[in-house]
Structure formats: C-alpha cells, structure tokens
Amino acid sequence: MKKFIKKLSAVCAVLAVVVMTTSFASIIKGTDQTITFESNIDGAEVYIDGLLFGKTPFAVNLKKNKYSSIMVKKDGYATQTLPLNKNFDPVTLLDFFWDYSTTDLITGAAFEYEPNKLFFNLEKESKK
C-alpha cells in the first residue's frame, strides 16, 4: 500500500508541475495555427518573412507570433506583399490570475493570426 501511495504522489506531483507551467491559451489553442493560402492563379509562390513556404493553394502550420510578412508572386503577375496580422487571443485572459499570462506571452499563444485564410487576387503585370 505504501508503494502505491508513493507512486500516486509522484504522479500527482508531475501533473501539478505540468499544470503550473502551462497556460490556458497554450493548452486550449496551442502555440501553432493553421493558415490557408489561396489565389486566383494556382501555383503562386508564398514567402513568409522571405522564406518560400509553398505554392497556392496550400495550408501550413505556423508558430504563433513568429512571422510578420507575406509575399506572393508568380511570373507574369504583380507581386503582392502584406503584413501577417496578429491579434491578442482573449482566451489568454483566462490565465491572468494563474501566472499573469506570462507563459502565453512567452510561447506566442497569447496571439493569433487574423484571418487564418488568405486569398490573393493576382493581376497581370502591365507591359510598358
């Protein structure tokens, strides 16, 4: 019986540490977010912060609060560049009294990309 109580105490201690070192937004929504990219012309290259991530249409899982700009380009079409907008995730407020939301701020889970589905209307380049 004493061995069982020791094992149960150890399991409870580990669970307590896990709960105390995580936060609500991290637990509920995670630190990644799926973003979908589409365009009127399939095969447009999508660069996020200068790195090629794929060609439209596609979806990718991005670390929250890590990336800031998107560039979409295809030969013969005007390149489009825009910011990757981030908004504060109100779920983070749930853990304000737990750890003052510091874990979610550090992991990026306190923010989310908005919108999570982006459509690009590429226009042909004008010939001069």
Q: List the chain pLDDT tens, one digit each, 128 residues.
A: 777 777 777 765 655 554 444 444 444 556 678 889 999 999 999 999 999 999 999 999 888 778 889 999 999 999 999 888 776 665 555 555 554 555 555 555 666 777 888 899 999 987 76
Whole-prediction pTM value?
A: 0.65
Cα 7 to Cα 1, 11, 15, 58, 93, distances in angstroms: 10, 6, 12, 47, 35
Reference 82, options 92, 91, 73; nearest CA is: 73
Cα 70 to Cα 73, 81, 90, 103, 118, distances in angstroms: 10, 6, 25, 27, 10
Structure-block tokens of residue 49: 């912060």
Beta-bridge mates of residue 36: 59, 117
